Chain A
Amino acid sequence: MPPVSRGFRGRRQSADTASRLPPGQYETRDFPVLSAGPTPRTSLTTWDFALRGANGQTARWTWDEFTALPRQTTTKDIHCVTKWSKFDTVWEGISVDTLLSEAAAKGVVPSPFVLATCDGGYTTNVPLADVTGGKAWVAFMYNGAPLPAEHGGPARLLVPHLYFWKSAKWVRELRLMESDAPGFWESLGYHNYGDPWREQRYSGDE
């Protein structure tokens, strides 16, 4: 056991809360904002979303086309690498499964890795297996209202089972790739995969 911090008692959570908190996390009722730079503002008239295959084939949707795809609502706990977790967040968006099946008609075929690219230049990488099978969405509504820009609106990737930096704000493209390539934080000392339950915060964490 690590050395005891003399006199530290801490704030104990209920058993229910504790069981939902990955190691090193604490619950917040707020919704903190973390971004590396200014919040980009993209007009919905010029916004589009692309799903690009490794073969170069691309499916593309305008805002109206995108939001007309079959929507899903999902309620998830989210976990930020800066230690806060927030329970029961409610999102509405398009499942990545839906995007892949729509894109298949345009000749986009699956590849094992995905790089999300965003307005403002942010990128993040995830294995395809972590954004398929009902595990990820491109979300544009939060708590029943349009997603605010500082939280990633018009639309952000939502991959709630990984640390929240993987849920890229202001996402505009998912690029399917044959080999893995680190994104923004993954190139700056953060873990390549980022499983909160294994506390994979930083490069080198097992």
Chain B
Amino acid sequence: MSPDGTASRIAWRLATVIDVVLETPRTRTLVLDVPGWPGHRAGQHVDVRLTADDGYQAERSYSIASPPEDTRLSLTVEQLKDGEVSPYLSEALHAGDTLELRGPIGGYFVWDIPTGGPLLLVGGGSGIVPLMAMLRHRDAALASAGAGAREKLPVRLLYSSRRWDEVIYRDELTSLAEKDLTLQVTHTLTREQPEGWAGFRRRIDRAMLEQVAWPASEQPRVFICGPTPLVESVASTLVELGHQPALVKTERFGPTGGAV
């Protein structure tokens, strides 16, 4: 909104791909330079528009992976089977290519430091992306603050993936948690586990949430992102466990039958 109360149009901008990072066999991060980018909040997304040489266009939405503190904008894209746009973004684009986008979009599924904690993040598959922006924002914003600031904003992340090599941001999550005792990262691997895996090996359920999530009495800010069945089930279970619906924010993607 401008000061006189009229909204200005969210403009299409031409971004340049600076780098492409391989995250998992099916997932890549596009690191973008976006001239004039107005800034964003962790959890927001952008619309991407592709144009074929005959003028045909396709648009899709992607969550922003980078925190507001980064000078570059990062989008992490999972290649969907039979996707129209994601195979192009995750395979055809290279450093130096350009991409049209507009944003930031979405003012509800967002978290920043003043929103407070504790924070409960529950993700499935590429649903980790907006949650990672929140973790990165917290890490960057509190980098120079004392340990007391982190203790006031403790985080628990419960992340469901099919197998270990499909865990997006695996090494970064490990190193964030190793240096920060107020961040607890719990993985569950639903299809296949590495040898000697001692962690969870099933879809997120009530018992897992009772064990891992903050109790409702702590009044955590809850963000759930993933395929619809995961989000529906986790959100309903948390409400059954006493969490206030108004503190439970959800973002869903994919077909109704998707599963992680």
**Interfacial residues, chain A to chain B (CB-CB below 8 A):** 1-12, 23-26, 28, 30-40, 82-83, 120-121, 150, 184-185, 188-189, 201-206
Contact = CB atoms under 8 A, between A and B. Distances in A.
Contact of B256 (A31, A36, A205): A31
A83 B60 contact: yes
Contacts of B100: 2-3, 5
A39 B254 CA distance: 17
A120 B252 CA distance: 17
Contacts of B249: 36-37
B105 A32 contact: no
Contact-residue size bin, chain B (C-beta under 8 Å from the other chain): 35 or more
A80 to B, nearest CB: 11
Contact of A5 (B10, B52, B107): B52
Contacts of B70: none
Interface in B47-67: 47, 49-53, 55-61
A184 B108 CA distance: 9
The interface residues of chain B, by DSSP majority, are classed as: mixed
Given A38-B248, A150-B232, A188 B51 contact: no
Contacts of B52: 4-5, 8-10
B78 to A, nearest CB: 16
Contacts of A40: 245
Given A2-B100, A24-B59, A38-B239, 6 more contacts: A3-B100, A4-B52, A11-B58, A30-B256, A35-B252, A185-B108
Contacts of B12: 2
Contact of B105 (A3, A34, A36, A189): A189
Contacts of A1: 51, 55
Interface string B98-126: 11100001111100000000000000000
B12 to A, nearest CB: 7
Interface in B1-30: 1, 6-10, 12, 14
A118 B239 CA distance: 18
B207 interface: no
A32 B236 contact: no
